[in-house]
Every structure is written in C-alpha cells, then in structure tokens.
Structure 1
Amino acid sequence: MNAWEIELIAARGDREQRAAAREAARGRFRRVRAGIYVPADALAGGSAQDLHLIGMRALALASDRPLVFSHWSSAVAHDRATLGNRFGRVHVTFSAPGLRSFDRVAGHVFALQDCEVEEVHGLLVTTIGRTVVDIAGAGTFEEGVVTADSALAGGLTRDRLDHAVDLAGPRRAWRSIAEVVAFADGGGKSAGESVSRVTMVRRLGLHPVLQHPLFDRRGRIGDTDFFFPDEEVAGEFDGLVKYLDPRYAPMGAGKKAYDEKVREDRGRRVTRGWARWGWAEGRDARLLGSILASAGVRVSRLVR
C-alpha cells in the first residue's frame, strides 16, 4: 500500500457522518479520526508506519490551522528509520502550550524557524536534521542513533546535521543530543545495525568497520555490515525485513535466502570467521558478545 495515496473520506455534517458511520459498521470504512474515514480494504498489509502516516494526513485534513509534524511522525514522513512503537499518537510541534488541543496528539512546545520546516507530499514537517535533533532529545540513545544513522545514510550531511543542532538552540536534553550526533554514522543501513553498533561500542568496547567490502577471485562479494580487521571476522545483522520486504527481496524470500547463502559461502572463504544475529541478540550484550567471540572476535570488556 501507498499511505500517501489512500483516499481520505471527510464526513461533513450530521448526514454524511451518519452515513459514514453505517459504512464503518458494515466493515467497508475504517474510522481514522472524528469525521475522517478510509476504505477498509485499502489498509490491507499496511505497516505501523503506514497507518501512522494516514493518521497524520487525517489530522491535517481535520485541523482548522496548519500543523507542523515533528519527531517520530516527521521521521515517518521522511521515510527514515525509527525504533520502538511511538506511533500511538501523532507528534506535532506547537509554538505555545495553549495550542495543544487535539485528541491522540503528542504535542511538543519548541520554537521553530522557517528554515526548519518543509513540505512533504502536502504535509508540513520538520526538516530531517531538526527531526534527528528532536528524537535525540526526546527519546532513548538507541532511538536517536537509529534515526540519525538513517538520516545520514539517506543523504543528510554531517555539516547539515551540526547546523540543525545549532538552529534548534539550547534545551535541557542538549547533552543527549550531542552524544547521539557524535555517535551517528551513515554506515548504519538499518535500525538493527544501528542498535547492534550501540551494543558493540557502548557495552562491549568493540569498534568494527562498517560496510566493509569483500572480494574473491570472482570479484566483489558485497559489503558486510560489520568487519573486525584484527581478527578478519565479518558480522551480519539479520532481520526479517531483509527477506520479507519486497524492497529488499523483490524476487521473494526464498530467492533472497539463497542469494544470502551464496554470498556468505563466498565470504567465509576470504575471512577467518562469520557471525550472524538478529534483534534479540543485537540488543543483548551478553548474547551478542558470545556470538562474536565464537566467531573469533576478542571480546574482553566485562558486560555490565
């Protein structure tokens, strides 16, 4: 589904609202917000991000004044990675506390300059740099790093990110923001890789090379997510999205799994060790440390 293109049905007046409510009771419509509906069958297969984006569009349609979507909502609009479930409420930044009068809206009160706001498919959202700053200040370190890595990987330059920090101005969470920005690296290609790197660096004291190219006599094998040059060990984060999302597996999960096996077989011949892990291990220092040690990485830091 394309959440930007799904039709929003605005029921104006009592008669239209009653008719829409009847269609919803029959299962033909899905109520998104008071007076705003979508065809129920259009939501099939939608992700949490898709549904959140539809909620943003519905809120903008229902509002009697322009709204600036920010934080996790802006990250969704920019198609940047996020961590955790922050999609229960739409995130909007207001200039004053008294303006926060919407249902199911997480209102944030911060000053915004015109250059920190842009339009994406008709919605006003904070720029990606400002979005990173806001998430880094309001979320956990991991959440901030995931979106910051994704923004840098998507084309945001380090200079523009630093400029966004300066534009946002001082706030209570400035130290958290500075730590996230300093740690961020565009080599993180997925949320799972970013979380794994946080665990490696902050919990295990490891500093792998990101997106390291591997070659054999046949040519380039590909880039491995992590590489430990001293031990010549490759590490790969494996999430389900790699196999189930058509963007990464256009020929299907089976073909993707086969291609990954061929790639790993070639990679193992030019490395001294190969490690794979998923979400549970990537967030658990003891589990990830054990996997890496078994592959040959020297893990010496005591996990707290």
Structure 2
Amino acid sequence: MRILIVSDAWHPQVNGVVRTLMTVRDELQKLGHSVEVIGPDRFRTIPMPSYPEIRLALGAGRKLERLIRAHDPGAIHIATEGPLGFAARRYCLRNGIPFTTAYHTRFPEYVRDRMPVPLALSYALVRRFHAPAAAVMVATQTIEDALKARGFTNIRRWSRGVDTDLFHPRDKAFLSDPRPISLYVGRVSVEKNLEAFLKLDLPGTKYVVGDGPQLEEYRNRYPAAKFVGARHGEELAKFYAAADVFVFPSRTDTFGLVLLEALASGVPVAAFPVPGPLDVIDDPAVGCLDDDLAHAIEAALAIPAEPCRDHAMKWSWRASAEQFLNNLRPLRGSDRLIRS
C-alpha cells in the first residue's frame, strides 16, 4: 500500500512524535509498504511563538495538494493538529477522501500551560478537528477513556514500542558523578513540568538530556543539575543505562517513549500517576507512581534492573506498525482523485 502521512512534527524536530513516525515508517517499509511523510521541511516556515525550535508551515494548501496528488496515496494519515494537519484535513473533506488522525499530544493542556485559554474551548477545537476521521489513533486506554468522556468517537488503539537492541543495560561507569543519578530525557520546556524534578532536594546528581526553549533559563536557575543537551543513538543509550532512576515529571504526555527506553536500559521509573505512566508502569516491580515525586524517586531506587528490562521486552515496534496499518482507511474507487 502507498501510505501518506502528513505531520507538523518532523525533521529536524526531535521529540516523541517524530521518533514514533520515523520508526513506524521504517517498520511499514520492512513489511513491503511505501510510506511518504510530508512535513514542514518542504514548506516556507516560521518559528512557533514561545517555541522557536518548532517550525510552522505557511501557506501550505496548494503545494500540499500537489504533493498529495503526486504521491497518489492508497491511504492518508494526518498525524498532528497543526497548520499542515488542518490543510490536509480541509483537502480531504473537500474532495470526499477518508483519512485517519492520531492524538499524540494533550494539546489543550499544552495550550493552557502557555496562555489563558479554557480547556473546554481547546478541547472543542481538537474534537472538531478529529471528528471526521475514520479512526482517531491513541496510544493508551487512559487517553482513550479521557477522550471518550469529552465526546470523541471512532477511537482506535495505536500503541508504541522500544528498540531493545539499542537500549539495554550497560556499564554505569559512563557517568562518574555522585550517586544516585536521577535522569530526565526529553524536551526542556514548560509543558514537561521539569521544574517539579529540578526543584527537589535529592541526594546524588540530577541529569537532564534534551534541548528546548527553557534550556538556558533552567540551566541558570538550577546550576547543581547537569544539562547536557540532546543526545542520540549509542550516546543517548549510555546516558540511560548509567542512571539509577529515570524521572518523568510530565503530567500532559499521552504516552512517553522515554519510559520504555529507560526500562529497556534496566532503569526504574519515578513519575506522577497520570496518563502515560499509568499505562506503561502498570507493574509496581518496575517503577513508582506517586503525587509526591520525591517519594516516587526514593521508592524507585530500590527496584532492580532485571524486572525493568523484562517489562520493556513486551513492547514491539512491529506490533505498533501493524496496529497502525490495520487502523488506516484505504481509498477505494471514487474516493481516489487520481488513477490507482
């Protein structure tokens, strides 16, 4: 099948949405499918207000239509609720083309953290965006239940996976700082609630791996923590494995790929009992969820590596890709604008 994905999150951005789309694309190609991703890198862009690392496509309509026609897709998936997502949605609705969407980010909560917009208003906009989709893909049962309670329909499961060959237990001597080492990996931005971790008085050393709009602000505000910027591949895997506990302070993520990467590295997780952690850390043998994050960290430090690794081994990117494929709505007959 020729699959077209339209996403406002794509290279050179570094985040969970991009990593998910990249990995699932690769798995689908291994299964024999053709996958094309249309992202902001193909358009004139401007920096997103308050988050310049994210570029927003401008005037995408006509060029996007040409790109869609040139690809001649057998199925269209709209990954994000940004300018490209809205343009693709408008194109599909105007031409009677079925499409699927995904709910990657708790966008209303993200907006609330940055500006005084009522959650009810943001959810109404997001619900309207997803309403015409043949399927709205979500990663977890917790998010599905929350969206259903707000009137979302046509929800289908699209779980996540982890590369257990890359992320695995390693020599902790990679980091020689005083222990225990508490690690955070992810964007350094307001919606990640990172200060809930940074302001804690903890023994040992705090590490933050990642970039984002608050990086310099937090680096200056919390000089005792070590901010090392973004890391990738083998180097990232070494940071994970060298930690003693992985701390996930976010309250707005829909999943959190980093949770699985930490567990695959044999590192227990400390987090709040919110969507994402509630679905991934469903076994107290691999982490601690508590509204008192300091207590969660202390409890998680007592957890050995073996059950963490065993838990992560249950998550497969191949299964994720197959779920995605089964959720798609193939174009048929009159649905096609151009010859199959």
Q: Relative CO higher for 1 or 2, CA cutoff 8 Å, sep ≥ 6?
A: 2
Do both share a fold (TM > 0.5)? Answer: no
Name the one with the larger helix percent. Answer: 1
Q: TM-score, normalised by structure 2?
A: 0.29
Structure number, greater radius of gyration: 1
